[in-house]
Amino acid sequence: MRDFNYELKNLCRRNRDGSFATRADRERILDHIANQLHDMGFRHMQASSLKPKHIEALVQRWHAEAIAPGTFKNRMATLRWLVEKIAKQNIMARTNAYYQIPSRVFVSNVSKAKVLDLELLERVTDPYTAASLRLQSAFGLRRAESIKIQPGWADRGETLALKDTWTKGGRAREVPIRTAEQRAALDHAKALAGSGSLIPNALNYVNQLQRFKAQCQLAGIDHVHGIRHHYAQSRFQELTGWACPAQGGPPGKALLPEQRATDLEARLTISAELGHDRAQVTAIYLGR
User: In which domain, by residue range, is 196 found?
Assistant: 124-219
CATH number of the domain where residue 199 is located: 1.10.443.10
Q: Is the CA virtual torsion 235, 109, 274, 216 positive or negative?
A: positive
DSSP three-state, residue 1: coil
pLDDT at position 109: 80
Say which amino acid occupies 214. Answer: A
Residue 251 lies in a domain: no
What's residue 169's pLDDT? 81
Asked whether residue 168 falls in the same domain as residue 90, the answer is no
Residues 171 and 273: beta-carbon distance below 8 Å: no
CB 46 within 8 A of CB 34: no
CA distance 154 to 143: 16
Which of the two residues, 19 and 137, has the higher pLDDT score? 137
Mean pLDDT of 45-65: 94
> Collapsing DSSP states into helix, strand and coil, what is residue 175?
strand
How many angstroms separate the CA atoms of 209 and 218, rounded?
14
pLDDT band for position 22 (cuts 50, 70, 90): confident
Please check whether residues 162 and 203 belong to one and the same domain.
Answer: yes
* pTM of the predicted model as reported, rounded to 2 decimal places: 0.72
Helices 52-65/69-85 angle, 10° precision: 170
pLDDT in tens, 68-120: 888 999 999 999 999 999 999 999 999 998 999 877 666 668 899 999 999 99
Mean pLDDT of the chain: 94
- How does pLDDT run across 233-285, given as a tens digit for each residue? 999 999 999 999 999 999 999 999 999 999 999 999 999 999 998 888 899 99
In tens, the pLDDT along 200-242 reads 999 999 999 999 999 999 999 999 999 999 999 999 999 999 9
Separation of alpha carbons 128 and 192, rounded Å: 8
pLDDT of residue 148: 97
Whether 116 is in a domain gets the answer no
- Residue 68 is predicted with a pLDDT of 81
Q: Does 279 reside within a domain?
A: no
Residue 267 lies in a domain: no
Query: Residues 150, 93: one domain?
Result: no
